[in-house]
Amino acid sequence: MNLRKAAPDWVRDTGRRATVWYGERTAGRRPLPDFLVVGGQRCGTTSLFRALMAHPDIARPLVNKGVNYFDVNYHRSEEWYRGHFPARAEDDRTRVFDASGYYMFHPLAAERIVHDLPGIKIVAMVRDPVERAWSAYKHELARGFEWERSFAHAVELEDARLEGEIERMVADPSYQSFNHRHHAYRRRGEYARLLEPFVAGLGRDRVHVIESERFFAEPAQVYAGLTEFLEVDPVVPARFDRYNARPGSDGDAEAFQRLREHFAPHDEALAQLLGHPPFWRSTDG
């Protein structure tokens, strides 16, 4: 039995606050992250996070999977951010990381990351954007953040729901947009556009892109490539499990086809970034 999960919510919340409070006050002994997992949403990042946790030379944040500092908590101090990571001695080889799935999509996150962490390494997961949109819709519907019962209609509403939201977020960094975070079914799948500021600011060699379909098909091989990128020993977990998969009925075939057409130029741009067609395009037909 996991005693931490069995504890009442108020006990866990108090423990998290105490951990961050102490961490902030000992920030001088705590590193900034060596790499970030920036998303994308519903692309398998939780499964990757669990695999990374199994590596002896990689350490996660102390409290949550993601700290969400560069998107919704940027008004807080760097000491607050450092306070989420385990203390590290100067000769410690451990790499620490933050896995926040909104970093890849938030309009200000990439610029902030490039400015504050110019030597950081970025890990991004991408997935067939049509399947990603459908999975996101089911996820938001189940959580009560989406109320449209038609996937096709929810996709059609996206432009109206997001109109002016990015401009408001840029003009007022304290503003958090519910619609931008929960109703972006198409835009979160335009991967090349979302990755471009990371590549432009940090260099292509510091951005590692993983296709989730390839990760689940060949986990050991893909994970070995990731450990090489992170410059850690090639220790592979004994097993790879899939987390947060959301099963459901087949989607709207007509809506899927419209999305496939919408994403075609974005997939072409991603192919240029990857150096090969994305997995879902190479297996089409």
Q: Where are the domains of the chain?
A: 32-278
pLDDT tens per residue across span 61-111: 987 788 999 999 999 999 999 999 988 877 788 999 999 999 999 999 999
Residue scoring higher pLDDT (247 or 258): 258
pLDDT value for 44: 92
The chain-wide mean pLDDT, for the chain, equals: 90
Antiparallel, parallel or unpaired: β 121-126 and 95-99: unpaired
CATH node for 32-278: 3.40.50.300
Residue 245 confidence (pLDDT):
65
> What percentage of residues in the chain have a pLDDT greater than 90?
75
Quick: pLDDT tens for 147-188.
Answer: 999 999 999 999 999 999 999 999 999 999 999 999 999 999
pLDDT at 251 over 80: no
Given a contact cutoff of 8 angstroms between Cβ atoms, the answer to whether 100 and 112 are in contact is no
- 26 or 232, higher pLDDT: 232
Residue-wise over 93-130: b if at least 16 C-beta within 10 A, else e?
ebbbbbbbbbbbbbbebbebbbeebeebbbbbbbbbbb
pLDDT at residue 1 is higher than 50: no
pLDDT bin (cut points 50, 70, 90) of residue 13 is: low
Lowest mean pLDDT among 29-43, 205-219, 242-256, 266-280: 242-256
Please give the structure tokens belonging to residue 11.
């006990």
Residue 249 confidence (pLDDT) above 90: no
Over residues 12-37, the mean pLDDT reads 80
